Structure 1
Amino acid sequence: MFRRTFWFTAGAAAGVWATTKVNRKLKQLTPESLAAQAADKAVEAGHRLKDFALDVRAGMLQREAELGEALGLEGPPVDNGQDRELPAPRRRAALDHTASPTTTYSIPTISYNRNEDH
């Protein structure tokens, strides 16, 4: 008799547990629940995107300050209408602009006749 009572109780408990699990899953799959989950995910993605944009902005301001310091542009702005002078260049220009203007360059001619060599 004790065995039958034990197995009856175990079966009833398993049935209650399975029914509860199925009902929870069905509630998660209702249209209202799916819409709420999608809205929560969108809000979370928006927060992540905002944090990323703030990190990018902070990095941009830091890099801008480093470049301004390296170029000697850090200083109070001139309000009297006069332009500030640019700092002297630190490197030589890559192109030599002192070449004589009489230098001629030859451009190779290429035939674009579609009927050639066919």
Structure 2
Amino acid sequence: MFRRTFWFTAGAAAGVWATTKVNRKLKKLTPESLAAQAADKAIEAGHRLKDFALDVKAGMLQREDELNDALGLNSDPDRPDNVRALPGPRRLRALTNDNDHRPKFSYNRNEDH
């Protein structure tokens, strides 16, 4: 008698457990639930993308400061010991032959064809 009661109770408990699991899965697969899950994933992806963009921007600013320090562009121009300046623009000489004043080389791409 005790055996039958034990197995009846174990079977009933297993049935309740399985029914609960199946009902939870079915609720997760309803269109409303799937739409809510998709919206949550999209919001999460948006937050990750925003964090990534902020990290990239912070890295760019840090690197820009490093480059400005290396070039001496962040220093105070009013200090007398800082007399460094950037070089002026370069002047290009025309490649000319001494006899005539036409360029030696033609930069026309279509001339060779």
Counterpart amino acid of 1:87?
Answer: L
> TM-score, normalized by length of structure 2?
0.70
Q: Within 5 A, what are the aligned runs for 1:85-100?
A: 86-88=85-87
1:42 alignment partner in structure 2: 42
Work out the CA distance in 2 between the residues paired with 1:86 and 1:19.
80
Q: Which has the higher contact order (CA 8 A, sep 6+)?
A: 1
Q: Within 5 A, what are the aligned runs for 1:22-33?
A: 22-33=22-33
Work out the CA distance in 2 between the residues paired with 1:55 and 1:48.
10
How far has the Cα of 1:72 moved from its partner? 2.0
1:5 alignment partner in structure 2: 5
> TM-score, normalized by length of structure 1?
0.67
Work out the CA distance in 2 between the residues paired with 1:86 and 1:41.
53
**Residue 101 in structure 1 maps to residue 100 in structure 2:** no
Tell me which protein shows more helix as a share of its residues.
2
Work out the CA distance in 2 between the residues paired with 1:3 and 1:71.
88
Contact kept in structure 2, 1:68 and 1:74, CA below 8 Å: yes
How far has the Cα of 1:100 moved from its partner? 5.5
Work out the CA distance in 2 between the residues paired with 1:51 and 1:35.
24
Work out the CA distance in 1 between the residues paired with 2:85 and 2:61.
21
Q: Within 5 A, what are the aligned runs for 1:48-87?
A: 48-75=48-75, 86-87=85-86
Percent identity among equivalent residues? 74
Q: What is the number of residues matched between the two proteins?
A: 98
Considering only aligned residues, what root-mean-square deviation do their CA atoms show, in Å? Answer: 2.9
Q: Deviations over 1:4-55 (max 9, x none)?
A: 1111111101100000000000000011111111111111111111110110
